[in-house]
Amino acid sequence: MKYLKFRFFIPTIVFTLFWSVLNAQVTTLYGDYIHKVINSTENADYTKSLILLNEIYDGTLLSDNYLIGTIAARRGSTSAGNRLNVANINSSSAYSSTYANLISNDEADYLWKLKTCRYNGKKYLALEVPYLAAYHQNGFQFVGWAKSSGLSLEFVAYEKNGIAQNTSILKEITDFVPNRKISNHVSRFNVLGKVGIGTDDPQADLAVNGDILAKQIKVKTDISVPDYVFEPGYKMNTLEQIEEFVKTHKHLPEIPSAKEVAADGLDLAKMNLLLLKKVEELTLHLIEKEKMLYDVNRRLKKIENKN
């Protein structure tokens, strides 16, 4: 009888421990490596919010602060489509410096962003939650390393239905520019989709909103190289015809106008080949003029010799 009671008692303990861990707000997995259910009771539809990550330097030297891990959030339903947002954060603040980067996986143009803010007088690195009218009704969960001399992984709303929230304790929300590098050492890096650099809405396979610096750029194109200009049967505009065209249209034949470039951009491969074509045609015109000039000089010498 005692044996039976003991067998019944062991599963009860295991179940109780499992249930308490499952419902705990913070579960320590190893040292500072934790799982935390982030309390987001302030969250609701039409809410803009931050998640405080760790305290950062604000004039007084700090001890070691860091947050390295993943925040996952889910909203929607079976009928509306379950949408999962994921943010991978790597931040550290110690003494007078702060370093952080962010990799996010989310829907459409709704991006996680790093921010700084002042909360209850302390300065924090924070994560701005991607905003949609529909809120993350399934909440937020974090897994990773976390240590902060202030609050850590605390949810705070700053706007609801267009009205500012928590203004007495939450101030100075500003962008934080990521300053930690990410390196991928791979034999091949494949992206099956559009890539945007400096833009979150790329309109081409690769869209760069900024400068490009390269040692070499090679463009493969199916446009014919205009060596056909040098074929015997090729007919090109006379200089007189080009002059009339330029007077009327204010640009060379076949070359797009300034208005067209402003509207449609500049196709570098096509433009380079068009310019090459114009150089080749110009070269033919020069050769022709050189022959005419040579013939004129020859005739002038004959006249001079006769006189």
User: How confident is the model at residue 25, as a pLDDT?
Assistant: 86
Mean pLDDT of 261-269: 89
- Whether the Cβ atoms of residue 283 and residue 275 lie closer than 8 Å to each other: no
User: How confident is the model at residue 200, as a pLDDT?
Assistant: 79
Mean of the per-residue pLDDT values of the chain = 87
What are the C-alpha distances in Å from 194 to residues 78, 200, 208, 231? 28, 10, 11, 41
User: How confident is the model at residue 108, as a pLDDT?
Assistant: 58
User: How confident is the model at residue 267, as a pLDDT?
Assistant: 87
Q: What is the pLDDT of residues 6-38, one digit of tens each?
A: 444 444 444 333 333 444 489 999 999 999 999
- Whether the Cβ atoms of residue 38 and residue 51 lie closer than 8 Å to each other: yes
Single-letter amino acid code for the residue at 290: E
- Whether the Cβ atoms of residue 252 and residue 243 lie closer than 8 Å to each other: no
- Whether the Cβ atoms of residue 249 and residue 257 lie closer than 8 Å to each other: yes
User: How confident is the model at residue 218, as a pLDDT?
Assistant: 83
Q: How many CB atoms lie within 10 A of CB 203?
A: 9
Q: What is the pLDDT of residues 225-259, one digit of tens each?
A: 899 999 999 999 999 999 999 999 999 999 999 99
For CA atoms 255, 261, 264, 267, the dihedral sign is positive
Q: What 8-state DSSP symbol labels residue 268?
A: H
Mean pLDDT of 93-118: 89
The DSSP annotation for 60-88 comes to: S-EEEEEEEEEEEEEE--TTT--EEEEEE
Mean pLDDT of 155-171: 96
Mean pLDDT of 113-133: 94
Burial of 124 (0-12, 13-18, 19+ CB in 10 A): buried
pLDDT over threshold 90, residue 198: no
User: How confident is the model at residue 201, as a pLDDT?
Assistant: 82
User: How confident is the model at residue 20, as a pLDDT?
Assistant: 39
User: How confident is the model at residue 17, as a pLDDT?
Assistant: 39
Mean pLDDT of 37-53: 94
Mean pLDDT of 213-222: 83
